[in-house]
Amino acid sequence: MDDALRDFVKGLPKAELHLHLEGSLEPELMFALAQRNAVAIPYETVDAVRAAYDFSNLQDFLDIYYAGADVLRDERDFYDLTMAYLKRMAQENVQHVEVFFDPQTHTDRGIAFEAVADGILAALDDGERDFGITSGLILCFLRHLSEEAAFDVLAMADPYLDRILGVGLDSSELGHPPSKFARIFKEAGARGLKRVAHAGEEGPAPYIHEALDILHVDRIDHGNRCLDDPELVARLARSGMTLTLCPLSNLKLCVIDDMAHHPLKSMMESGLHVMVNSDDPAYFGGYLTDNYLAVAQALNLSRDDLAVLAKNSFRGSFLDGTAKARHMAAIDDYVAAYPG
């Protein structure tokens, strides 16, 4: 590992816009929570948990990810989960995060929406106070469930809407196109929430068209498969739409067969506004810095390329223009002052 490159990326001011809090549940915390809550888990050791993280596709991963979330039972668990993630981000100079949570994963097993939201929001507040990390919370609807179920969770979230930045769409993509959620995204937009959706991770390019034209999203999560449709690439580039790429996730879920084949660099060259994220770092083997390093090394990215990616992370965020400009200027200052 190139330590100089790691130091450069670690110190680079960054934002993360595609992170599932439930996907930051490290095996150590999973064991601790299993014990605290007297929940049985089907693993003897932390190493056995990690050994089980060998996936052939998105569904393989989701089955284990939803099972792992069963150790999360009360407000304190959600606080600890979120705080552990923010602590790591503080060590990597991550200054702003817009994080996903999947309330249905919890409410469907009898956990109160309030316990989930209160725990996460308290940690996000403490993360800003203790580490200066600003944040937003994005409520994701599980797309393998019905639109009616999504309306139910939006109703539960009603008292929290002033603390929720936006809605997202995640879980099993194939067979669950964005159009299935047209009405709930319209409702979310009417309530002033931002809209994002996973599209084109495993699903085809027409799912990205649907996310744009039917869900009216402000950002596309993943979006890799846009490359199958040159006109879509041109449209995304022209509109400055941010695509939240997740390199280590793509490798672990076999969206790509080798990091050297990751489309990030060609997407940059096509004028797409791409940025780097960790998706579910506890399951995919790396947090934000590791994801930058994985593409930097495999695709031979320059420091300037990495600075563009970091700037795109703020440009694509839902921060206001002044904050974006301040963060982007800090990146220029960092690069200019960096030795060598």
Give catalytic residue positions.
201
Structure tokens at 223: 């979006």
23 contact, one of Zn ion, ligand ADE, none, CB 5-8 Å limit per kind: ligand ADE
Q: CB of residue 255 vs ligand ADE: minimum separation in angstroms? A: 9
Q: Is 222 annotated as a binding residue?
A: no
Task: Provide Rg for the chain, Cα atoms.
Answer: 19
Bridge partner residues of 199 (DSSP): 222
Whose CB is nearest to Zn ion? 279
**Which tokens is 133 given?**
């990390």
Distance of alpha carbon 195 from alpha carbon 215, whole angstroms: 8
Contact partner, 77, from ligand ADE, Zn ion, none, Cβ < 5-8 Å per class: none
Rounded Cα–Cα distance for residues 216 and 194 (Å): 10
Q: Where are the alpha helices (DSSP H) in the chain?
A: 3-11, 27-36, 46-51, 58-68, 75-91, 103-107, 113-131, 147-157, 182-190, 205-213, 230-239, 247-252, 264-269, 281-284, 288-298, 303-315, 321-337
How near is the Cβ of 58 to ligand ADE at its closest, in Å? Answer: 6
Is position 98 an interface residue for Zn ion (rule: CB under 5 A)?
A: no
Binding site for ligand ADE (CB under 6 A): 20, 23, 58, 65, 170-171, 198, 201, 249, 279-280
Residue placing its CB nearer to ligand ADE in the complex, 12 or 164: 164
Q: Which two tokens stand for residue 129?
A: 């106070």
Choosing among ligand ADE, Zn ion, none, which partner's interface includes residue 242 (Cβ < 5 to 8 Å by kind)?
none
* Residue 304 known to bind ligand: no
Ranges within 244-283 binding Zn ion (CB under 5 A): 279
Q: Which is nearer to ligand ADE, 93 or 250 (CB)?
A: 250
Closest CA to 242 of 269, 215, 217: 217
Q: Which does 58 bind (CB under 5 to 8 A by kind): Zn ion, ligand ADE, none?
A: ligand ADE
Tell me if 96 is assigned to a ligand binding site: no
Cβ of residue 142: shortest distance to Zn ion, in angstroms?
Answer: 12
**171 contact choice in Zn ion, ligand ADE, none (CB below 5 to 8 Å, kind-dependent):** ligand ADE
20 labelled binding-site residue: yes
Confirm or reject binding of residue 80 to Zn ion (CB under 5 A). no
Query: Could you tell me the strand order of the sheet in which 194-199 lies?
Result: 14-16, 94-101, 134-142, 166-170, 194-199, 219-222, 242-245, 273-276
Q: Please say which residue, 21 or 331, places its beta carbon nearer to ligand ADE.
A: 21
In terms of CB distance, is 8 or 287 closer to Zn ion?
A: 287
Q: Rounded to an integer, what distance in angstroms lies between the CA atom of residue 10 and that of residue 233?
A: 30
Beta carbon of residue 232, minimum distance to ligand ADE (angstroms, whole number): 20
CB 136 within 8 A of CB 98: yes
Return the number of the residue (140 or 154) whose C-beta is nearest ligand ADE: 140
Please work out, in degrees rounded to the nearest 5, the angle formed at the alpha carbon of residue 249 by the alpha carbons of 294 and 64. 140
2 is annotated as contributing to ligand binding = no
Handedness of CA 333, 335, 338, 340 (dihedral sign): negative
Q: Give binding residues for Zn(2+) as ranges.
A: 18, 20, 198, 279
Q: Give binding residues as ranges.
A: 18, 20, 198, 279-280
Q: By the criterion CB under 5 A, which residues form the site for Zn ion? A: 279
